[in-house]
Amino acid sequence: MRGSCYSEHNWRPARKFFMAENSQHQKHITQVILKVASRCNLNCSYCYVYNMADSTWRGRPALMPDDVFEAAITRTLQQCSATGQDRILIAFHGGEPCLIGSERFDFWCGRARALLGDVVKVNLAMQTNGTLLDSRWIDLLRKHRVSVGISMDGPKEIHDAVRRDHRQQGSYDQVERGLRLLQESEIPYGVGCVIPLGADPLTVHRHFLRLGCKQVTYLMPHFTHDTIGPIHQRFGPTPCADFLIPIFDHWWFEGTMDFQINNLKDVARVIMGGQSHSEAIGNGPPRYVFIEADGEMEGLDNLRACGDGLARIKLNVRTSNFFDLLRTETMHSQAIFEGMPLCPTCCNCREGKTCAGGHLSHRYSVASGFNNPSVWCADLLKLFTHVRERMHVSLEETEQFRNIRLARDATRHDIQPVYVF
């Protein structure tokens, strides 16, 4: 089927292949992430797309053309028809997706629902820096029932130190304005905050509480074993854990479940034997595909932090379908659909089945590839140890809970996907 076009007769062999496996082990995509803009109006200092090891964005069109979007949605329809899956997430990503303009966004959202809606439940999402949101965008997000991920790194002085535009002007005021618009319109949203190493954690956390946010994810910054040295020299051996533990304690003793901290909830979930809902821990198969502005498919977008071109699969949605991802000779097929093998250190670790190596991109080194523990290994172990003590859950209890969950999942058909947002 490599290079096949969109005709229905090409779907039937794929249906037999996918349906032959037990449903909870089906190897299919659950999230299609459209990099509709390969450029951004901000120039964040830590951005893995523009300011780390990769330069492939330079050779791509600034905006996704209509024919690439159409091919991506048709490929999605092809897969959903073959697998019989009941839902799919279509996410608008970048760069900054608002650069495509509100009219094109309106048309594309309508087109996606029109093509897919009779076959599968379509959930739409957008990941944005928030600076370009206005009343027109808010109307469209509400019209098409689009949930939003918005990036903010804390109070103005912290945020503006790293999230600046191309004139080196801070973006906080525009982001707060966009966030307020989302709140006023009751559009579902969550905040992604890259951990500002060295900052006071409760100052950052209380800032989000004062803003009225209901869902925050604190993200460990992207570094590899080749780049982490100066960070540890400056901030000490466990700066992420030192940031997250006071926030967890504040949430544990003073917070409620009305305020969700997704990454810390995920830690608690796997300690209780559950399945991780993110790629940051658990080593679960993310089952997503990124579609670049030129149509090129990528499985693990954040591997741009590791090396130039390392995220590339060399398949294009114009000429290849999602089933071809299973046949690629790169590491991406295994990473997308199975999860990558853990290094010996992680296999022998007491949290080897919970943390499970952390984020894949954080395991990389030029010398050993991904056969390493996370650069944040000490942080993760310190964090898991602390959360276990607060929850009074032993390693043995986690194993018991996990076995119960696995036995239950063996009879279920709605296994939780791993979310990138």
Q: Is residue 135 part of a domain?
A: yes
Q: Is residue 240 part of a domain?
A: yes
> Above 90 in pLDDT, residue 47?
yes
Q: What percent of the chain has pLDDT over 90?
A: 87
Q: Is residue 379 part of a domain?
A: no
Q: Is residue 91 part of a domain?
A: yes
How many domains are there within the chain? 1
Q: How far is CA 14 from the centre of its chain?
A: 27
Using 50, 70 and 90 to split pLDDT, how confident is the model at 27?
confident
d(CA 161, CA 159) in angstroms, rounded, equals 5
* pLDDT confidence of residue 329: 78
CB–CB of 123/89 below 8 Å? yes
Q: Is residue 49 part of a domain?
A: yes
* pLDDT confidence of residue 412: 66
Residue 310 class from Cβ within 10 Å (0-12 exposed, 13-18 middle, 19+ buried)? buried
Using 50, 70 and 90 to split pLDDT, how confident is the model at 15?
very low
> Above 50 in pLDDT, residue 17?
no
Alpha-helix runs per DSSP H in 239-283: 239-254, 262-271
What is the tens place of the pLDDT at every residue in 143-162?
999 999 999 999 999 999 99
Query: Can you give the CATH number for the domain in which 311 is found?
Result: 3.20.20.70
User: Strand 296-298's sheet: what is its strand order?
Assistant: 260-261, 215-219, 189-194, 146-151, 121-128, 87-93, 31-35, 288-291, 296-298, 312-316
Question: What 3-state class would DSSP assign to 334?
Answer: helix
Domain hosting residue 19, numbered range: 8-275+284-340
Going by C-beta distance under 8 Å and a sequence separation of 6 or more, which residues neighbour residue 194? 46, 151, 153, 162, 219, 221
pTM: 0.91
* pLDDT confidence of residue 23: 38
Phi and psi (nearest 5°) for 325? -60, -30
Q: Is residue 362 part of a domain?
A: no
Q: What is the mean pLDDT of residues 210-232?
A: 98
What is the tens place of the pLDDT at every residue in 49-59?
999 999 999 99
d(CA 260, CA 262) in angstroms, rounded, equals 6
Q: Is residue 80 part of a domain?
A: yes
Q: Is residue 347 part of a domain?
A: no
From 6-20, 72-86, 271-285, the region with the lowest mean pLDDT: 6-20
Q: Which residues pair with 272 in a beta bridge?
A: none
